[in-house]
Structure 1
Amino acid sequence: MNTLQFIRETGIEQFYHQWIQPRLRDKKAIGIAVAIALLYSLHRKITKPPANLRHLPWLGFYKYHKAILSNVTVDQFSRDITLPVMEKSSGAFLQPMVGYWIIQLTDPIAIKQLLQKIDIFPKSKINQGDDGSLMYRFIGGDNILMLNGDDWKRHRKIANPAFTRAMPVKLFGELTTTMFKAMDGLGKKIDVLDLFSRVTIDTIGKAGFGFDFNALTNRNSEWVENYDNVKEGMLDPFFLVFPTCDTTLLKWFPKRQKVHDQLTHFLEMLAGIIEDRRKTMKEARENGTEQLVEAHERDLLTLMIECEENENATLSNEELRRNLCIFFLAGHDTTAFTLSFMIYELAVNPEMQERARKEAIAILGDDPYDKLPDIEDTKQMSYINAVMKETMRLHNPVLSTTAREATKDCVLNGIFIPKGSLVSADILDVHRNPKVWTSPYEFNPDRFLPGGEAEQKTSAGTAWIPFSSGGRICVGMNFSLVEQRVILSMLLRKYKWKLPSDSIHANGLKTHGVAFGIISSTNLDIDFEKRY
């Protein structure tokens, strides 16, 4: 294919006008040559997988990237792009990325073997993005998510006991009551994505590092605006597909530079909090004036600094900051999206909503005031827990685990993985795999009740992995699950809700974010009616 054919067949001119021109500083100076150079280079080098991986079926390079740049919904991507290839496979297929191909596993047994063999399959540096990019600056570097070997064990040694001790159930409940007050001023129809984004940013701010974002009480919070812009910037498909434009060519994209500046401001805030916390804790120990706060209600930063002494391991201020960024992303965005998708499913399935409400009332009572659950209450919420798990199966915010790199030739449940290959557990597709789950696109919480389908499907392999699994399972899993149970149970007692008839989600939840791997949505308005 020559250059002219390439331009015609790939729709390069339309791509230029839609994706490149709006982002440039000088819209006339650089021209379409940038797009031609980038895309034609990709065409010549990486439109087919390397020979040693061609024993696996693969997604078409152009079809995949066209889907990303078109911002297709996750359902469209799952049904139209990956499902046809997945059905031809024995539990794995190849997905094209910029500069490499990655093996996506959809077989539960192969996934279990992958996630258990952390020495053979360490995390790849490819997960962090290019050095200097917005994504690298926020989630890259030396942190618990990206590190391997002894360095990872050192981080985990401090983070594990901190998360074990930190379970601020009282804080979850108090912030939920603050959320109710905020809802009073929003009217009947409420954008739950915005609502839960605010309650979870306040939660992770206070529970993570003792900082009050005032997201619920101040709708014009500078910090919320900064973080939202950073988050949207990381999800921008253009800069994910063309990372050079986020680093070397950044000066050509002034709007992108502004987002980088906002991230710098956010990171400086975290660094200042860490430095001040170390100083005040040291002074308190020396003066004997340490605050008598129960361990489970202390913030994670305080607990991690305490654990440095108890576990004979230390983290630098920079390492602490990078870990707080990971906790922030995982504890805020993914929890907010899960809560939003859960509310949607209960809105379109009113009988399930009422069943969950009856359970909440049976545990917390039906008196007309806001009852805060305690930790023992949350352990009794079997159907609410099933609703949560089914939501994370069908609409899990994270589409796949971070990429691992095979250090030697290996076979995972009959699937040959050559040395040097990148491989990931495909959360989206194993959760929707018709060879694994009955009617996988149907929302059915009963799967996760005792004796349900989930017990059978997960007994031999790993078919439900919203928090990954094995030695590198998400350290904040229980934190997130308890927070969800508290918020949902209190909402069920306080409100009934339904989907507005004019919702863009009337024919199914529309979610996006395939490029970055964390899904989100827009305009998810819900009609709420108070019960008391």
Structure 2
Amino acid sequence: ILLALIFIIYKLWNLLHVPQNIAHIPAVPLYKTFIATLSKMTFEEKRSYLYKDLLNEHGIARYFFRSKWTILIGDAHLANEIYLNADKFPKLLSTQMFPESLAAKFIGDNVVFSNDKLWKKYRASVNSAFKIQFDTRLFIEGVSELIQVIDNNAGSEIDMSHYFRRLTMEVLGLGLMNIKFNSILTPNPEFNYHYNNIMKCLNIPITLIFQSLDTPSNPMMRSAYDSEPKDILSLMLLSMDKDEKLTDKEIRDNIMMFVLAGHDTTALALTVAIYFLCKHPNFQDKARREALAIFGKPGNDKKLPFIDSIIKESLRMYPPVAFLPARLTKSEFIANDIQIPASSLILVETFHIQNSSKYWQNPSEFNPYRFYESSNSTKIAYPATSWSPFGGGERMCSGLGFSMMEQRITLALLLLNYKFELN
């Protein structure tokens, strides 16, 4: 028993011990971390309790996060330095983040969790695929089905967050793989059922869910070659055949990453936008008038500046990803006169930067006019580096345009058909 106790104490000390080379960095006390972990505080309450003041004062903070001492970055200019110098601040790989875990196997190697030559290989293929002009009918079809569901439930409450998750899965299926998942109209769609179980426990092998992605000889995969490419998977497959750049597993891992990155994040962004439109009926009315005036005219599907401003302001206040993927410092660097040693784990705290009074006037106020510019008004000035829900630099999310178009068309069509109110 004594030996077991000594072993446990040793392991705890080894886990919690602060390395000497980062001991000088302003830190969140461990006791606060434990209290916040065990408490029922909301995310905003936790960050306020733990490190908001430290980030306001120093721009960085040392924080025990996911069993590792991590350096949080809450300064927009430091974040921009990290974005623009990907070679000096490489991504933490999934195998480093979750060593020997099912999560690492599930995520695999992809354009998000890779570096150097491997990342450049993925990025070249992904960029060529995302350069296509997505047909707006891809998004309209899904929203039209959502409208059917809402109409069928007329007079009753609708959980929009639930149906936004179904909508984004349907759009991803069509946009990424040209597969219709029937996620919206089907009461219990099979794909969504399996996907949700994976998210809960990560114990279902990916090949059970994505059997059709195992080999290009599969009829579904081969059909990508029989017509003009319309989806990301087809274009990546064609790239693979021409240059033999990506293996089947690499294709699958990247598609899985797109699903993970584009499903809950876009659904959450839409939910937040609808919530704020309910809270601010004047903005909802203005957005509806814009949709009525513009949406549906040839070539005008992208010209919804006020709706775009609503989306951007929603993403500012509640970025779907509060922490961007972790990075490592390749060499020592100075952050606001504080020395950060090489091999330090760093996280850009997007939520803090985008809600900081250092960069934003009245940051807790929902104000789409921060991003809106028309003949009658001027956009409110803000530092470009302080808005980065999709990251920045060459590692910026490839799906930015896809997500923004999906949100824009979804909100416009819903506003054309309904007035939204909170229960």
CA 1:378/1:79 → structure 2, altered by over 3 Å: closer, same or farther? Answer: farther
- The equivalent position to 1:175 in structure 2, one of 106, 125, 142, is 142
Amino acid paired to 2:117: D
1:200: how far off? 0.6
Q: TM-score, normalised by structure 2?
A: 0.90
1:128: how far off? 5.9
Aligned mates of 1:264, 1:466 — CA distance in 2: 31
CA 1:493/1:219 → structure 2, altered by over 3 Å: closer, same or farther? Answer: same
1:304 corresponds in structure 2 to: 236
**Secondary structure at 1:416's aligned position in 2?**
strand
CA 1:422/1:87 → structure 2, altered by over 3 Å: closer, same or farther? Answer: same
1:153 corresponds in structure 2 to: 120
Does structure 1 residue 487 correspond to structure 2 residue 410? yes
* Conserved 8 A contact 1:126-1:403: no
Amino acid paired to 1:96: F
1:210 corresponds in structure 2 to: 178
Does structure 1 residue 456 correspond to structure 2 residue 399? no
Q: Percent identity?
A: 30
- Over aligned residue pairs, what C-alpha RMSD do you find? 2.6
* Conserved 8 A contact 1:158-1:307: yes
CA 1:178/1:98 → structure 2, altered by over 3 Å: closer, same or farther? Answer: closer
1:414: how far off? 3.9
- The equivalent position to 2:341 in structure 1, one of 418, 422, 440, is 418
Amino acid paired to 1:60: P
Q: Deviations over 1:216-265 (max 9, x none)?
A: 1112112111112222x2xxxxxxxxxxxxxxxxxxxxxx5xx5036552
- The equivalent position to 1:260 in structure 2, one of 194, 203, 208, is 203
Alignment of 1:373-522 (within 5 A): 376-412=299-335, 414-450=337-373, 451-453=378-380, 455-458=381-384, 462-500=385-423
1:154: how far off? 0.6
**Secondary structure at 1:346's aligned position in 2?**
helix
Aligned mates of 1:465, 1:104 — CA distance in 2: 16
Q: Which has the higher contact order (CA 8 A, sep 6+)?
A: 1
Alignment of 1:58-137 (within 5 A): 58-70=27-39, 72-89=41-58, 91-125=59-93, 129-137=97-105
Amino acid paired to 1:207: G
1:327: how far off? 0.4
1:309: how far off? 5.2
Q: Deviations over 1:411-447 (max 9, x none)?
A: 2454432111111211111111222222222211111
- The equivalent position to 1:142 in structure 2, one of 102, 105, 109, is 109
CA 1:345/1:279 → structure 2, altered by over 3 Å: closer, same or farther? Answer: same
Aligned mates of 1:65, 1:334 — CA distance in 2: 28
* Conserved 8 A contact 2:215-2:248: no
**Secondary structure at 1:329's aligned position in 2?**
helix
1:520 corresponds in structure 2 to: none
CA 1:467/1:197 → structure 2, altered by over 3 Å: closer, same or farther? Answer: same
1:524 corresponds in structure 2 to: none
- The equivalent position to 2:264 in structure 1, one of 309, 333, 342, is 333
Aligned mates of 2:312, 2:95 — CA distance in 1: 26
Q: Deviations over 1:63-107 (max 9, x none)?
A: 224434545322212322221322332x11112124421111111
**Secondary structure at 2:342's aligned position in 1?**
coil
CA 1:228/1:358 → structure 2, altered by over 3 Å: closer, same or farther? Answer: same
Aligned mates of 1:40, 1:341 — CA distance in 2: 44
* Conserved 8 A contact 2:359-2:386: yes
* Conserved 8 A contact 2:212-2:220: no
- The equivalent position to 1:56 in structure 2, one of 14, 22, 25, is 25
2:214 corresponds in structure 1 to: 271
1:12 corresponds in structure 2 to: none
Gap runs ≥5 in structure 1: 4-32, 234-255, 285-289, 365-370, 501-532
Alignment of 1:26-41 (within 5 A): none
Q: Deviations over 1:41-72 (max 9, x none)?
A: 66423435322223322223342244345453
1:349 corresponds in structure 2 to: 280
**Secondary structure at 1:114's aligned position in 2?**
helix
Q: TM-score, normalised by structure 1?
A: 0.73
CA 1:76/1:320 → structure 2, altered by over 3 Å: closer, same or farther? Answer: same
Aligned mates of 1:415, 1:203 — CA distance in 2: 45
CA 1:111/1:272 → structure 2, altered by over 3 Å: closer, same or farther? Answer: same
Amino acid paired to 2:236: M
CA 1:37/1:362 → structure 2, altered by over 3 Å: closer, same or farther? Answer: farther
Aligned mates of 1:316, 1:150 — CA distance in 2: 15
Q: Deviations over 1:131-181 (max 9, x none)?
A: 453422332x32111111111101111100101115231110111111101
Gap runs ≥5 in structure 2: none
Aligned mates of 2:65, 2:217 — CA distance in 1: 36
